[in-house]
Structure 1
Amino acid sequence: MDIPGYYSRVVIRETTSAWVLRPNRIDLNDPQTVGLHDPLRPEPRAIHEELVDPAPPTRLPNFWHLPYELRQEIWEMLLPPPRIICLMSPQMYEKYSHIYKSVHIPAFYPACEESKEIVQRWGVGLRFVSYKGMPIHCEWFNRRRDILYLPSIMSFGCFDGWGSCLDNSTIILNVLEVLEDRYRGDQLSKHFTQVVDQGRFDKVKAFRLSMLKVQWGGDQWGEELDIYGEDTMAVLDLDDPRLPTLLRPVFQNMRFLLGSQNKQQQVHKRPSCLLRHLRREWEAELKFLFEEQWLQSYLQKMDKLVSEELYTGKRFGLDDQRRALDRGHELVRTLIAGMPSIRPVILFEKCYPSTVLSKHNPGAMAGGDDVWNGGRQWDGLRCIAHRRGMTLTYSRGMSSFE
């Protein structure tokens, strides 16, 4: 249907053949008619018709005749597609600004009051500044569609002024970074508790806890299994049925690069073994540890952590220094009911060439993989992931260890 004033209408008709009839037949004996075309044969003639508006429309007056609900759907269709926003440290934004490029507020925002309303309702503009107060990065965060990935809880703590920016949002955290277990100290989990105490996660809708990060270009997946789309990252639930197929070329590449002499560096033989192990780690301990970290962080915020009636005899954490909460206590049940939803996931990051033994990308945390917690050795994320078997290979060059 053609709505006047909406489109520039261009009609180009293809070249056709037309019959041209002349009043007299050709007399081959008449020298004046020799060389003329036979009237019984078609004479090609090009007919072009162009109907072009003199200027494209600058206003759409009929748009306001549409129902309000339909106009809202049209505005929503103009919003950017869902994406995963990776929040880096100030140093990374300043040093690698050509990699971590800013994404600004949608261009249609100043069009009218309705466009401003829809942009403000769906998202928020985040402007990051350096320690000197200079702008270093911008992001438009669609809290309904986008997912905010925090590769480092310490980097997240570098920025203040979040306010209500994370309300009703979904956040990805590295599961081993925000809890305290028997293999590691409590430096990073204290940062998580501090963030909770500051109220930054008060109205977060959901947490996706990354059990593993796989850096893979996806060039061997095919179009039907392309999970990246236009983005550079993708996140899949641990129970996603596509995971065995997606991980198969990753394992093949890993076996080829390790060779027969380094087979012992491979942690799991097949994708199914890896996924089964990750589910077992989640159900057996990690889910409980994250819930305890969240609940005790909130109790500390409420100054209720010292009440003896809240605890049981079960212990956890480094050297069993932490006591588990009584899940049957009324206050604890109330906190559990108000917790954001949590799910274990695997994070994929697009990189080229597609190799699991490539060097770390610029976003990797240099120098901190093996040393945390005041300098004590062997309690970094890499080592804890190795101890728990939450990795693909023990190789030092492994870039998919988180």
Structure 2
Amino acid sequence: VPTEVNVSTPSATGPVLEIIAKTPLAVWRDYLTFHTVRSNAPMLSTEIDKAAFAFTGTVLSGQKTQRDDWKRAVATVGSTAGIGDAVGQIYVARHFKPEAKAAMDELVENLRKALRQNIQRLDWMGDATKAEAYRKLETFNPKIGYTKKWRDYGNVAIVPKDLMANITALRNYYRADQIARIGTRPDRDEWGMTPQTVNAYYNAQFNEVVFPAGILQPPFFDINADPAVNYGGIGAVIGHEMGHGFDDQGSKSDFAGIQRNWWTDQDRARFDAKTKVLGAQFNGFCPVDGQCVNGALTMGENIGDLGGISMAYTAYQLSLNGKPAPVIDGLTGDQRFFLAWAQVWKAKYRDEALVNLIKSDPHSPPQYRINGPLRNLAEWYTAFGVTEGDKLYLAPADRVRIW
């Protein structure tokens, strides 16, 4: 048993203990029973599953029907709560080629160079803060494709035709693993996503960006595609995750993942002023009547998108080695770059799902992840000849560029 425990949010401990003490035991029983049933609804009876979907699926998201059972089963089995690493090994063997890994390694290094150049050009940041930013950038660790160490599920007892028993066995397996780690150092080789996951993340504690093999496919990445498309797609997404190391929250951690202030007061004030302008822009986006994006809630992701596109554009220019980009199908390299970013986030949402998203999701709705950052970039205006009077036009004085 450890003698010390690191409480990540100590300000919440007192109020939570107070609520626990004041709430009658019978209420806690009802509360915990309800949430146990709700969280396990997909694995319980058809009646309970349908009742849960009627609220979480239909009321909150506007879905009319459930996904097919086989799709839900694949998602469960292949998740980090299932046997995701076992599925991941099969996925990597079939779909992740060495040449894709090599191309991604080169792209990431160009992004690192690009961010360094962008930081050098910042007129709002002083030399002392820049030095710390360079240090964080140079020590940041990219993980591409899949983990070095696969999990072993050999001791998990799987019972044919008993889903709940198998889910329980896996939960016990993961819980025992977590308990065994108490008092040990964090494993820097561990991944928080399976290889087949179409997603990515930045881990501030380790100053690392993680890109599973699953996201390294169209529309994000294509080994045979024009560089403009790959830099505007996966390049900007990687740049987004790298940008999280320097957003409103990531900027509070240093190169080693330690939370400390490495900014001068003047530079932090300038940064905050720029983020305030960006937040106000996103507050003005209203996808559903009377329901607008929360610029404060989405701040970190919006900074990531804006910085990611800027970073990827610089990296794309580096990849050209001073040569002009070819015109393909009547589109310039810059146009293809920005169109690739738009292709990544194209989506169709029901109004109910949009309302739920803007109230709870730290990401802006997809159409604003596209247009919101682009209207701040001079290169986008030049690429498409956007001028005053066009719908997305922003006067130069109203544009913001952070990284």
TM, length-normalised to structure 2: 0.23
More helix by share: 2
TM, length-normalised to structure 1: 0.23
Q: Which has more radius of gyration?
A: 1
More strand by share: 1
